[in-house]
Amino acid sequence: MKKNLKGISLSELESYFESLGEQKYRAKQVFRWIYKGAGSFDEMSDISAGLKEKLKESAEIQELKTLDRRISKIDGTRKYLFGLSDGNTIESVFMKYRFGNSICISSQAGCRMGCAFCASGQNGLLRDLSAGEMADQILKAQKDTGEKINHVVVMGVGEPFDNYENLSGFIKIINNEYGLSIGMRNITVSTCGVIPKIKSFSDDFPQVNLAVSLHAPNDIIRKGLMPVANKYPYDELISACREYTKKTGRRITFEYTLIAGKNDDNQHAGELAAKLQGLLCHVNLIPVNQVSGLAFAPSARDNADKFRERLQKKGITATVRRELGGDIDAACGQLRLSRPVTIN
167 in contact with ligand SAH (CB under 6 A): no
Q: What angle do CA 290, 294, 298 make, to 5 degrees?
A: 35
* CA–CA distances in Å: residue 230 to residues 71, 109, 119, 216, 255: 39, 23, 20, 13, 19
Binding mask 225-244 for ligand SAH (x = CB under 6 A): --------------------
The torsion angle over the Cα atoms of residues 5, 8, 14 and 16, rounded to 10 degrees, is -60
Q: How far is the CB of 316 from ligand SAH (least distance, A)?
A: 17
* Closer to ligand SAH by Cβ: residue 158 or 169: 158
The residues, any chain, with a CB within 8 Å of residue 114's CB and separated by 6 or more, are 121, 124, 226, 227
Instruction: Report the distance separating Cα 248 and Cα 233, nearest Å.
Output: 23
Interacting residue with ligand SAH among 92, 213, 248, 253 (CB under 6 A): 213
22 classed as catalytic: no
92 in contact with ligand SAH (CB under 6 A): no
257 in contact with ligand SAH (CB under 6 A): yes
332 classed as catalytic: yes
Interacting residue with ligand SAH among 63, 91, 159, 264 (CB under 6 A): 159
Q: How far is the CB of 23 from ligand SAH (least distance, A)?
A: 41
* Closer to ligand SAH by Cβ: residue 8 or 332: 332
Q: How far is the CB of 167 from ligand SAH (least distance, A)?
A: 11
Site for ligand SAH in 17-46 (CB under 6 A): none
How many CB atoms neighbour CB 43 within 10 A? 13
Instruction: Report the distance separating Cα 23 and Cα 11, nearest Å.
Output: 13
The residues, any chain, with a CB within 8 Å of residue 68's CB and separated by 6 or more, are 80, 81, 339
Q: Which of 14, 63, 91, 133 is catalytic?
A: 91
Query: Residue 116 in contact with residue 165, Cβ under 8 Å?
Result: no
Interacting residue with ligand SAH among 64, 115, 283, 330 (CB under 6 A): 115
Burial grade of 242 (CB within 10 A; 0-12, 13-18, 19 or more): middle
Give the footprint of ligand SAH on this chain (CB under 6 A). 113, 115, 117-118, 155, 159, 190-192, 213, 255, 257, 286, 288-289, 291, 332-333
